[in-house]
Amino acid sequence: MMEDHDPTSPLGLLNFGWEFAEAAKKVAGEPELQNVAYYLICHAVELALKSYLRLHGWGVQDLANRTKIGHDLETALREADQLGLRNVVQIGRGFENSFIVLNVYYSKKDFEYPFLAPGLPSLYSPVMMDEMLNGTDDLLKSLQAHLLKMLG
């Protein structure tokens, strides 16, 4: 994690992403906390992608706007890809597939408010969780190196 006191700057968003990823690691092995773990790791991915978008000129209001990105991981990835994300970060197929599956629930806030999705299936899979934890860790490390290089 890097020091940055502006929580909406690229480094600030990345710092928050690290915090959510670390929290996800702490609860990931607890079956009764599976939705919490998925929420935490998806939020870490969201913040990491938004840090990249902020670096490339996206405003805070645009990042928060539900019609532009909101909490949609696929949209955030697509927008980041258009700005060259995959030239900076290698995103494994298993990681991308896992977060696309989880995005169906995350983007609608079903992990936070399960009463909105009473039919929310039990998605917990140790393999999927490992893909998310490892992929997010790689994403954060690669973005950290990229941000430090770009921001000097």
Give the domain CATH number at 109: 1.20.120.330
In a domain, 101, yes or no: yes
Structural tokens at position 83: 């700005």
What is the arithmetic mean of pLDDT over 22-40?
92
pLDDT at 121: 65
In a domain, 5, yes or no: no
CA 18 and chain centroid, separation: 10
Residue 69: burial class (beta carbons within 10 Å; 0-12, 13-18, 19+): buried
pLDDT at 20: 98
In a domain, 90, yes or no: yes
In a domain, 34, yes or no: yes
Predicted confidence (pLDDT) per residue in 71-129, tens digit: 999 999 999 999 999 999 999 999 999 989 999 889 988 888 877 766 666 777 889 99
Into how many domains does the chain fold?
Answer: 1
What is the arithmetic mean of pLDDT over 125-150?
95
In a domain, 4, yes or no: no
pLDDT beyond 90 at 18: yes
What is the arithmetic mean of pLDDT over 127-137?
95
In a domain, 1, yes or no: no
Close Cβ partners of 29 (under 8 Å, ≥ 6 residues apart) = none
In a domain, 2, yes or no: no
pLDDT beyond 60 at 4: no
Domain range for 41 is 10-151
- pLDDT > 90 in the chain, percent: 66
Predicted confidence (pLDDT) per residue in 68-81, tens digit: 888 999 999 999 99
- Please state at what angle helix 126-151 crosses helix 93-106, rounded to 10 degrees: 100
**Separation between Cα atoms, residue 53 and residue 102, nearest integer Å:** 21
In a domain, 14, yes or no: yes
pLDDT beyond 90 at 64: no
The whole-model pTM stands at: 0.92
